Amino acid sequence: MPRSPTDLAPLGAPVLVLNLKVYANCLGAGALAVGKLLADRARARRVAAALCPAAPDLGQLATSLRIPVLAQHVDSVDPGARTGTIIPESLLASGVVGSLLNHSEHPLPDDEVGRAVARLQALGLVPLVCAKDIDDARRLARFHPAYLAVEPPELIGGDRSVSTARPEVVHGTVEAVHAIAPGTRVLCGAGVHDRNDVRIALELGAQGVLVASAVTKAADPREAIDELLAGFPAGHPGTRRPGR
């Protein structure tokens, strides 16, 4: 019996999503340490936050952390005689609440995105579809994912943030997606580093940000997380994982 889609944040609350990618210092114990920091600091500021660790760390972090944990990718295939795939049922069984899809570092054909969104949402899991620009976002909005994040690839990992370097992409994506899928929450990412980047993203209509190197490459990850959280309106109840 499919459950209602699990959300990353209470309705209307903006969310900070941290993608650990496969940065060497964010694997295994490193992923757990950063995840605990994010959960603790987000709770202190009452901001909703979620974490996307590398696949081998999903189960442990999903059971250890009191914030939603998402995969960085999932395959739409059904359970059975398949090797090396990550399927939605496996995420559900491990307490993982959803998955990124079509990140520019792991692109997918549109039809696979559609199948994976449907498979995740049928199990009450959260798809966070990534798009590289407004046209990409408009095309992928037809799948009505719970979340869609616009991330211009040329800004990923750099010093300029999408919200200051390409504000028209953020606002244009919000407009384009909501014209097709009003229920989809639009996030933005790429180069987001500080409270100003977050504040501007929210002012442009995004309902959160997707971040990686500001934290994964920080000399002081706690300070980097606090800097990002400072851009959010404090006081939104942080999301507790379902059943917690």
Residues within the interface to ligand G3P (CB under 6 A)? 19, 103, 151, 156-157, 189-192, 210-214
Residue 154 bears catalytic tag: no
- Using the Cα atoms of residue 91, residue 74, residue 18 and residue 6 in order, give the sign of their dihedral: negative
Q: Compare residues 75 and 151 and give the one whose CB is closer to ligand G3P.
A: 151
For residues 70 and 56, give the distance between their C-alpha atoms in angstroms, rounded to a whole number: 12
Q: Compare residues 19 and 102 and give the one whose CB is closer to ligand G3P.
A: 19
Measured CA to CA in angstroms, residue 85 lies from 37, 42, 79, 82, 98 at distances of: 30, 32, 9, 7, 15
Q: Compare residues 141 and 190 and give the one whose CB is closer to ligand G3P.
A: 190
Residue of 73, 144, 151, 171 marked active site: 151
Please say whether the beta carbons of 67 and 241 come within 8 A: yes
Taking the complex as a whole, the smallest distance from the CB of residue 78 to ligand G3P amounts, in Å, to 27
Q: Compare residues 103 and 144 and give the one whose CB is closer to ligand G3P.
A: 103
Residue 227 bears catalytic tag: no
CA-wise closest residue to 86 among 109, 64, 60, 54: 54
Taking the complex as a whole, the smallest distance from the CB of residue 210 to ligand G3P amounts, in Å, to 4
Taking the complex as a whole, the smallest distance from the CB of residue 83 to ligand G3P amounts, in Å, to 27
Taking the complex as a whole, the smallest distance from the CB of residue 192 to ligand G3P amounts, in Å, to 6
Q: Compare residues 157 and 167 and give the one whose CB is closer to ligand G3P.
A: 157
Residue nearest to ligand G3P (CB): 213
Residues contacting 230, CB < 8 A, separation 6+: 45, 195, 198
For residues 242 and 153, give the distance between their C-alpha atoms in angstroms, rounded to a whole number: 33
Taking the complex as a whole, the smallest distance from the CB of residue 184 to ligand G3P amounts, in Å, to 17
The radius of gyration computed from the CA coordinates of the chain, to the nearest angstrom, equals: 16
Q: Give me 240's structure tokens.
A: 């507790």
Q: Give me 31's structure tokens.
A: 């992923």
**So which residues are the catalytic ones?**
103, 151
